Amino acid sequence: MCAIRWIPGLLRQDLRLRVAVLTLLITIAMLPPVPLPGMAEGQPWPHAYGVFLSLDDSDLNRLVGFETVVIDAQYFSADSIRTLRQSGHKVLTYLNLGAIEDFRPYYDAWRDLFLGPYENWPEEQWVDVSNIRWQRFLLEDLAPAMVAKGVDGFFVDNCDVYALFPREGIYEGLATVLTGLKSLRPTVIINSGDAFLNAYFQRNGQVNTILSGINQETVLTAIDFATDTFTTSTPQDRTHYENYVSRYAAEGAGIYLLEYTRDPELAKAIGAYCRGKGYQYYISDSIELD
């Protein structure tokens, strides 16, 4: 008799427990996501920025978790870029304005414009950007082909050709191409190129007609190409680049730092520094950015 009385009671208790657990799970599922440590409120991405220049279509999974990704769109299909953008990524493509690499299919066509070898990068040559044929190739062929694939903007490299060859024609060529790229896509980030940018600002009093942001490499770190190792930047270099990016941050440019280290403590320090400044950043353990 007692057993018959207690079994229904246990079933009722079990049912109430199941309902309570289910209600709790539903409540938890409806709560807004808790941001990961170091993330801003409402930021759905573990990482805001990533630069991946040695990847192709087979590496899409490597980009998961990065909001803004810099890729070389020549090696990605339009379908892959569409997939990335539909997943919420902002996709910028690498564009080499001031130099050319020997693995590009059009390398041999521009030998007559080579200005000299690129130190520490034996596969690369500086290019005479004052040449209108090179400017038209970038603005009428190469960049529109990338836009047709659906990229959101450009990550423009090697504007520091002006620092090595400070000619008026080089300056004008860089300004022409950057202005043209900005008309194709509003997001244009230039990598380095401080000598050119300072000259442009001195003449024009603004930089927003040629860029939306600046990516600066090795502000807090340095690359020792002789030993293939990473170190910290010298006090002089750090001060120079900190002042450089700070100057244009004040002019409204977005600031992105690209640092190289395998030291977890230094990586933490870089993250803290950039968060304190409001800069986006990416830390790579490889100069190949793979």
Q: List, in sequence order, the alpha helices (H) in 132-228.
A: 132-136, 143-148, 161-164, 168-184, 194-204
Shared domain check, 247 and 164: yes
Predicted confidence (pLDDT) per residue in 212-237, tens digit: 999 999 999 999 999 989 999 999 99
Give the pLDDT of residue 59.
95
Distance between CA atoms of 282 and 260, rounded to whole angstroms?
A: 9
Q: Please report whether residue 271 resides in a domain.
A: yes
Shared domain check, 110 and 157: yes
Give the pLDDT of residue 240.
97
Shared domain check, 42 and 27: no
Q: Please report whether residue 290 resides in a domain.
A: no
Q: Both ends of the chain: CA-CA distance in Å?
A: 73
Shared domain check, 171 and 113: yes
pLDDT in tens, the chain (290 residues): 332 222 233 333 443 444 343 333 333 333 333 332 333 344 468 999 999 999 999 999 999 999 999 999 999 999 999 999 999 999 999 999 999 999 999 999 999 999 999 999 999 999 999 999 999 999 999 999 999 999 999 999 999 999 999 999 999 999 999 999 999 999 999 998 999 999 999 999 999 999 999 999 999 999 999 998 999 999 999 999 999 999 999 999 999 999 999 999 999 999 999 999 999 999 999 999 98
Going across the sheet that includes 99-101, the strands are: 99-101, 121-127, 114-118
Domain that holds residue 245: 37-284
Q: Please report whether residue 96 resides in a domain.
A: yes
Shared domain check, 163 and 48: yes
Full-model pTM: 0.84
Six token digits for residue 79 = 């379908």
Q: Please report whether residue 23 resides in a domain.
A: yes
State the total domains in the chain: 2
Distance between CA atoms of 129 and 161, rounded to whole angstroms?
A: 8
Shared domain check, 242 and 99: yes
Shared domain check, 122 and 1: no
Strands 121-127 and 114-118: antiparallel
Instruction: CATH number of the domain at 160, please.
Output: 3.20.20.70
Q: Please report whether residue 105 resides in a domain.
A: yes
Shared domain check, 23 and 43: no
Shared domain check, 176 and 147: yes
What count of other Cβ atoms lies within 10 Å of the Cβ of residue 43?
A: 14
Distance between CA atoms of 97 and 178, rounded to whole angstroms?
A: 9
Q: Please report whether residue 289 resides in a domain.
A: no
Predicted confidence (pLDDT) per residue in 40-79, tens digit: 344 468 999 999 999 999 999 999 999 999 999 999 999 9
Give the pLDDT of residue 44.
62
User: Is residue 128 classed as helix, strand or coil in its secondary structure?
Assistant: coil
Listed residue (18, 54, 24, 70) closest to 257, CA to CA: 70
Listed residue (243, 176, 117, 166) closest to 156, CA to CA: 176
Q: Identify whether the C-beta of residue 200 lies closer than 8 Å to the C-beta of residue 176.
A: no
Shared domain check, 152 and 10: no
Shared domain check, 155 and 27: no
Shared domain check, 142 and 27: no
